[in-house]
Amino acid sequence: MRNPEFKEKMHEYSQWRAKLTQSIEMYHQWRNRYGMNDPHSTNTILNILTILGSDRITLAFVAEFSRGKTELINALFFAETGVRLLPSSPGRTTMSPTELFYDPDGGSYIRLLSIESRLENISLAELKQKPDRWLQFDLDANSPTQMQEAFKELISTKQVDREMADKLGLWNEREAAEQGIINPEKVEIPCWRHALISFPHPLLKAGLTILDTPGLNALGTEPELTLNMLPSAQAIVFVLAADTGVTKSDLEMWLSHICRAHGKKTQGLAVVMNKIDSMWDDLAGVSNYEESIKSQVAASASILKINENTIFPVSAKQALLAKVKADADLLKKSRLAPLEDYLANDIIKQKRNILMGTVIRDIGYLVNESSTITGTSLQHATGQLEEFKKIDFQNQDLMGKLMEETRDKKELYQANIEKFQASRRVFIVQANRLIDAFASEKVDAIINEARHEIAKSLTTYGMKQNIRKLFDNLRDLLGNAIEISNETRNMIKAMHKRFKTAYGFKEVEPQLFSIQEYQMELERIFELGEAFRSSTRITMTEQSIVIDKLYATLVNNARNVLRRAHEAAIAWCHSALIPLMCQIKDHKKQIESRLMMLKKIDGTKGTNAENIAALEAEVAPLRKQRDELAIMIKAMQLDSYTPENN
């Protein structure tokens, strides 16, 4: 599979996402048209439309220096420019983490964040929202050579005092000593902390984002990369060099960052063994060359404890050359095709499943609710029609009896409504307990106390211990919320069951608030933070700036998780009774409609046929409403979706 096919897959994915967005917008209009919208459902639908609108497939490329990672990016995505777009020549290594994407509002540019920004207590995420903090160069997207020249800034370095390098977290005395560098006056460091590149490449316009993460040092001193950016990537491509195999620093990067960031996901991780051209030996012959590659793959798989099938041996250098020169034989020899096939099929398919799963999770219950209520209304209307077809409307005694039975049902309904209102008041009290469990004041109190204790710490060890205490306190807060959540869930279930029994309502599974996803996310943050906090590199260097940034990143992540949990709890508490209220409202409407129809028929002198025709006219709009919904459910693929076949 060649890059054009990857582009086709991205284009197909982009089109599928656009159609899904359109069908959800139509569903929103349908709910408005038939009076089914409420503030919560509207907000839910608008949120999922925002997610679809900002959706991107992020591929993170991670490797130690001089593994040919940037050359691989050039070969995979930018060979059609005819130049080595990103700097990847020998001795010219990208020094700062780089994101490539397309910003339709900002246009074509490269933005560079100064390395000195590390001294500030501001996260990368916050700095990305402040364009004035970045040095910007405009790019000419029609001139690959101009872009190539601009991208040379990515490899810029400068000399600073050792004390400054130490403050920035870029000086490791032990590692320097191993290289024979002792007490230098000046230290070479990168000029830039982070780079953002935007230009209208077809893949980037279709929603691809590329994260180029250079070196163990970058990962080791920027917690946001390990704790935020890598875990959120759709796929991580870890690059080794065939001529060195798995080195000590490769293994440290793999264990401390890749495995942690990837977690327990079964997909989205590829190991590339680059530079297999270094094993080419015309004298040894093809068979020896193949055996050398197999041997190196087997050895690497054993060290990394992964399946050999997940390692892709390639020559990025030869693949780029082959694509630029349109040399099919050389391209085949470079072995890039299997990696392209994996990215074009497995990764995009996986992303589609994840996005569809999000849609089902967020609005699937709304669609089910709409389908149930619409179907029940139509069923009652057609049932009433069939009943009335068998009635002699001229029989006054029978008509009087039917009206009396309907009035009795209305009185029973009014009595049960009072019970519902009483239950609702009890639920509101319980809901407020749940909302209060996540209150920002409680979260801030825990965080502020931890910050105060860390400020008093005189050692890195003390800082680390206080971070651990923060983890434990936030766990306790979440544990309390879980208990209240379970009580609230049981209350909602009981209310649904009671009214189902009283009125024979169809079972509409209530949307139940779950803390589990937030609990798992928080534990994942703690796990990554604990690994980072106790890593050998941090322990040995005693770099307080790194620990401080780790704390800031952890706090920001944990706060965001708990904020989202709090917002979700509020939204759920405000909406939990809406499906039941809709059914009750619809039940009342059915009773009143039946009573009104009986009165109308009783007051007219029409024939039975004329009365039946009038009833059929009442049913037609309900059929139209149901049929429109069925079309939209099909368009959203909610009627047949399963992760395995999409």
- What is the tens place of the pLDDT at every residue in 130-160? 999 999 999 999 999 999 999 999 989 999 9
- Backbone phi, psi, residue 183, to 5°: 50, 55
Percentage, residues of the chain above pLDDT 90 = 33
Average pLDDT over residues 12-20: 93
The residue among 434, 433, 435, 469 whose CA lies nearest residue 450 is 469
Q: How far apart are CA 34 and CA 212, in angstroms?
A: 49
- CA dist 604 and 610 (Å) reads 10
| pLDDT band, very low/low/confident/very high, at 507 (cuts 50, 70, 90) | low
CA distances from 51 to 109, 356, 385, 604 (A): 25, 11, 44, 55
Check if the beta carbon of residue 15 is closer than 8 Å to that of residue 206.
no
Query: Quick one: what percent of the chain has pLDDT higher than 70?
Result: 87
CB 190 within 8 A of CB 215: no
Let me know how many helices (H) and strands (E) the chain has, helices first. Answer: 26, 11
Does the pLDDT at position 395 exceed 70?
no
Cα separations (Å) of 248 from 241, 254, 275, 365, 533? 13, 10, 18, 50, 20
pLDDT tens track for 164-178: 888 887 877 777 777
Residue 120 CB: number of other CB atoms within 10 A? 10
The pLDDT of residue 646: 41
Residue 329 in this model has a pLDDT that exceeds 90: yes
The DSSP bridge pattern shows strands 235-241 and 269-274 to be parallel
Q: What confidence score (pLDDT) does residue 93 get? A: 64
CATH architecture of 3-355: 3-Layer(aba) Sandwich (3.40)
Whether residue 460 is predicted with pLDDT greater than 70 in this model: the reply is no
- pLDDT for 422 equals 82
Instruction: Give me the mean pLDDT over the 489-504 stretch.
Output: 76
Where does the pLDDT of residue 565 fall: very low under 50, low under 70, confident under 90, or very high at 90 and above?
Answer: confident
According to the model, what pLDDT value does residue 134 have?
A: 97
* CA proximity to 302, closest of 235, 230, 254: 254
Please provide residue 191's backbone torsions phi and psi, each rounded to the nearest 5 degrees. Answer: -75, -30
Q: Per-residue pLDDT averaged across 481-498, rounded?
A: 83
Please tell me which residue, 298 or 496, carries the higher pLDDT value: 298
Query: Is the separation of the CB atoms in 554 and 529 below 8 Å?
Result: yes
SS (H, E, C) 109-157: EEEEEEHHHHHCCCCHHHHHCCHHHCEEEECCCCCHHHHHHHHHHHHCE
* Arithmetic mean of pLDDT over the chain: 83
Angstrom distance (rounded) from CA 333 to CA 315: 8
Domain residue ranges in the chain: 3-355, 391-508+515-603
Choose the weakest-confidence range: 26-40, 65-79, 371-385, 542-556. 542-556
Distance of CA 103 to the CA centre of its chain: 19
Q: Does 641 have pLDDT greater than 60?
A: no
The whole-number pLDDT of residue 541 equals 46
Order of all β-strands in the sheet with 192-198? 135-138, 109-114, 192-198, 98-101, 208-214, 57-63, 235-241, 269-274, 311-313
The pTM (predicted TM-score) of the whole model is 0.79
Flag the least confident range among 106-120, 256-270, 623-637.
Answer: 256-270
- For 339-394, write each residue's pLDDT tens digit: 999 999 889 998 999 899 889 888 888 888 888 888 888 887 888 777 777 676 65
- Return d(Cα 189, Cα 168) in angstroms, integer: 9
Q: Between 144 and 619, where is the model more confident?
A: 144
**Strand (E) positions, 199-303?**
208-214, 235-241, 269-274
Specify the length of the chain in residues: 646
Cβ pair 288, 39 in contact under 8 A: no
> Cα(628)–Cα(374) distance, rounded to whole angstroms?
11
What pLDDT is stored for residue 151 in this prediction? 93
Confidence bin at 590 (pLDDT 50/70/90): confident
